[in-house]
Structure 1
Amino acid sequence: MKPEWGPALAHVALTTSLCLAIICTGVFEGVSVEVGFEHYAERPVASLPAFLAMPFNSLINVAYVLLGWYWLQRGPSGPRYLAARGTRYLQHVFASMALLYGPVQWLRIGTQARVAALLDQWVTLPIFAWPVAWCLYLDRGWRPWCLLGLECLSLCSYGLALLHAQGFELALAGHIAAAVGQALRTQGRHGSATSATYLALAVLSCLGFVGLKLCDHQLAHWPLFQRLTGHFWSKVCDVLQFHFAFLFLTNLNPLQTLTREGKAS
């Protein structure tokens, strides 16, 4: 029997493969990306194979896979979610993104290949766009073309990297601002004290994700960050960011939206 989350995982895998195919055409040849172990504070271990050369920055990617698998298997929260096919699909897509993001990052760490670095950057953007899509669904109901359009717009925004040396950073900052802004708006309309707590934790984790990664080399001067580096802890924050985003989105209370969808299904 085909698992319920199968279509969502297939859609994410297909989109990721399409991004890889486009990158391989050379269209992003002019984009500046960091390639090489010198860009990481963790020192590579020469005696280990390439995919474990930086063991901590490599193995942390298993956490994304475990998180994605957990949320793929986890059922919807509460009886109102049982009738919401849209909610289940949104959860499965977001979980699939986490599940596949781990291998993409591990490929970048292990190979230090330009293609892998570009793919890592590109697929980051639709991940941040998906909570925006989820929040819009809670406000407006199930509109597949709206969700598709939003994700296409997100993917196209990576073109900023061709126009400016910091184009990717600008696109990512815009995605983060949009995700936080839309989450605050949805919290005001459908939230509770519980969802507000999860939203605050997700935002704090996001700050840790960005800040620790930017300060990777600077933090390495401190003994605490010489083995488990800032980049490693930024990935821990990223995994927590994913998890708290799930908890926030699944603890909102969009009664009218889900009631309408439940009747329609």
Structure 2
Amino acid sequence: MKAALLHVSVPFVLCVAWANTSLFDGVQVDLSCGHYAEPLVAGLPGFLAMPCNCLVNLAYISMGLYWLLRPSGVQETRTSRYMREVFALMAVLYGPVQWARLALLRRAPAVLDQWPHLTIFTWVPVWIGFIERGPAKWSGLHAAAHEVASILSYGLALAHERGFELALGCHVALAVYKGVRVQMAHGDGRTRRYLLLAVLSCAGFVVLKLLDHWLARYRLFQRLTGHFWSKVCDVLQFHFSFCFLTTLPQRKTAARQE
């Protein structure tokens, strides 16, 4: 747990420090409540002004704590537990980051809200690489290199107004490709179901977020907006990724014993 906490907290603190400098003043981020379709509720404090979009962040924290504190299985190695704990801590931290963006509507939290997406999606190929190679051939330096490259890829947001979307799209595509490849090599029907649900949740996360204002024309999406449901899909994406990545090693071990 201590190693996982150190792994997550050090890059996070660095990103917080960089986000509060003038380095990213040129990054295109929305800083108004009009960016969200959910109407403000008069009389509520800033951190609850958009109650549904704010409170949904508790789901990230709850889901992350569930996977963080889940007892280790018989087949879970020390490194496998480390992989799970890092991913879970990323979810726990991401909830407050998104909440801070909604509450403050300032540049630094908005930049910081974008950045963790990249490192979170990067951890999926890192975890898959560990599953494919096994403990003997896996290196922590390999994971560190992926994380550093992921953090630096946010520099694309400075090069172009759609640079962040390009970087995120590449991260998502790589995660899906790696997931499909390891499923074909070591998966079964159960892991295929988890992978499909994770990919569908990812698609829902993207599409519902983009259609936030368009969907708000309909009564069903005027309080529980597209942005809210996109966050629900994001939490489900996290959860089914956990299911997929923790089940695969068990399937791989069982296949070896057959």
Q: TM-score range by the shorter chain?
A: over 0.9
Amino acid at match of 1:124: H
- For structure 1, list consecutive stretches of 5 or more residues without a partner in the other structure: 260-265
Between the aligned partners of 1:15 and 1:178, the Cα distance in structure 2 is 21
Equivalent residue, structure 2, for 1:231: 227
Aligned pairs for 1:152-167 (under 5 A) are: 152-167=148-163
What's 1:212 paired with? 208
Matched, 1:150 2:143: no
Partner deviation per Cα, 1:133-185 (whole Å, 9 max, x = no partner): 00011112331000000111111110000111000000011011000000001
Shift of residue 102 of structure 1?
A: 0.2
Query: Deviation at 1:24?
Result: 1.7
**Which of residues 232, 238, 242 is equivalent to 1:242?**
238
- Name the aligned partner's letter for residue 245 of structure 2: L
Q: Give the match for residue 179 of structure 1.
A: 175
Conserved? CA contact 1:13–1:100, under 8 Å: no
Query: 1:14 — aligned with what?
Result: 10
CA distance in 2, matches of 1:251, 1:76: 12
Match for 1:99 among 70, 87, 92?
Answer: 92
Q: Is the 8 A contact 1:51 1:107 kept in 2?
A: yes
- Quote the offset at 1:124 in angstroms: 1.0
Q: Which residue of 2 aligns with 1:262?
A: none
Aligned equivalents of 2:87, 2:132: Cα separation in 1: 18
- Distance in 1 between the 2:63 and 2:227 partners? 19
C-alpha contact (below 8 Å) 1:72/1:92 kept by paired residues: yes
Instruction: Tell me if 1:202 matches 2:198.
Output: yes
Aligned residue-pair number: 251
Query: CA–CA distance in 2 between the matches of 1:75 and 1:151?
Result: 27
8 Å CA contact 1:64–1:101 kept in 2: the answer is yes
Q: Which residue type is aligned with residue 80 of structure 1?
A: Q
Aligned: 1:50 with 2:42:
no
CA distance in 2 between counterparts of 1:247 and 1:175 reads: 20
Q: Deviations over 1:13-50 (max 9, x none)?
A: 22111101112221111111111100000011120000
- In the alignment, the residues of structure 2 paired with residue 9 and residue 76 of structure 1 have an alpha-carbon distance, to the nearest angstrom, of 17
Structure 1: distance between partners of 2:114 and 2:120: 11
Output the CA distance in 2 between the equivalents of 1:140 and 1:95. Answer: 22
Give the unaligned 5+ runs of structure 2.
Answer: none
What is the TM-score when the length of structure 2 is the normalising length?
A: 0.94
Question: In 2, distance between residues paired with 1:24 and 1:232?
Answer: 27
d(CA) in 2 for partners of 1:51 and 1:57?
A: 10
Q: How far apart, CA to CA, are the structure 2 residues paired with 1:232 and 1:70?
A: 21
Is the CA contact (8 Å cut-off) linking 1:76 and 1:250 kept in structure 2? no
Q: Quick one: distance in 2 between partners of 1:172 and 1:178? A: 10
Identity, % of aligned pairs? 53
How many Å apart are 1:188 and its aligned residue?
A: 1.1
TM-score, length-normalised on structure 1? 0.92
> 2:68, 2:85 within 8 Å by CA — same for their partners in 1?
yes
How far residue 120 of structure 1 moved from its aligned partner, in angstroms, is: 0.6
**Pairing 1:192–2:188 present:** yes
Residue pair 1:129, 1:179 contacting (<8 A) in 2 also: yes
